[in-house]
């Protein structure tokens, strides 16, 4: 069964790029969210195997969304998509239980390597 993925990012550009990275692998994009509020709701509905989470988003940041999702579902696997300069936010997310992180600008193979390791499919 393919790994189900929820992509959270306010930029269509980034969402498309991440979708392309996952295309071809054993993944199925089950949903997209463009802000933290949507992310929490969609995660509840879709229960994806994996969520990629942008940090800076309108309405609710990726950090807050991550915390809420993990509170509801401690087994959620969330990979933070961060940029250089957001190190302390990423560490906050890790402390809250985020599984791992990738740093923009990222390469497809790096994203997949992190995701596979996190899912134990390396």
- Asked if residue 24 binds another protein (CB under 8 A), the reply is no
Q: List the one residue from 27, 50, 66, 101 that touches another protein (CB under 8 A).
A: 101
- Asked if residue 91 binds another protein (CB under 8 A), the reply is yes
First to last CA, the chain: 16
- Asked if residue 56 binds another protein (CB under 8 A), the reply is yes
Instruction: Show Cβ contacts of residue 2 under 8 Å, excluding neighbours closer than 6 positions.
Output: 26, 27, 28
- Asked if residue 12 binds another protein (CB under 8 A), the reply is yes
| CB atoms closer than 10 angstroms to residue 33 | 24
Instruction: Show Cβ contacts of residue 35 under 8 Å, excluding neighbours closer than 6 positions.
Output: 10, 57, 58, 59, 60
Interface positions with another protein (CB under 8 A): 10-14, 16-17, 20-21, 56-58, 82-85, 87-88, 90-91, 94-95, 100-101, 103-108, 110, 113-114, 117-118, 120, 122
């Amino acid at each position: 069964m393919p790994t189900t993925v929820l992509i959270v990012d306010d930029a269509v550009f980034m969402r498309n790029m991440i979708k392309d990275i996952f295309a071809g692998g054993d993944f199925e994009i089950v949903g997209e969210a463009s802000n933290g509020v949507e992310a929490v709701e969609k995660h509840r509905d879709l229960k994806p195997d994996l969520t990629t989470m942008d940090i800076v988003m309108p309405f609710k940041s990726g950090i807050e969304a991550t915390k809420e999702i993990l509170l509801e579902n401690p087994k959620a696997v969330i990979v933070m998509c961060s940029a250089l300069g957001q190190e302390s936010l990423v560490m906050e997310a890790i402390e809250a239980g985020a599984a791992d992180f990738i740093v923009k600008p990222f390469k497809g193979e790096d994203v997949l390597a992190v995701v596979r390791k996190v899912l134990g499919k390396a």
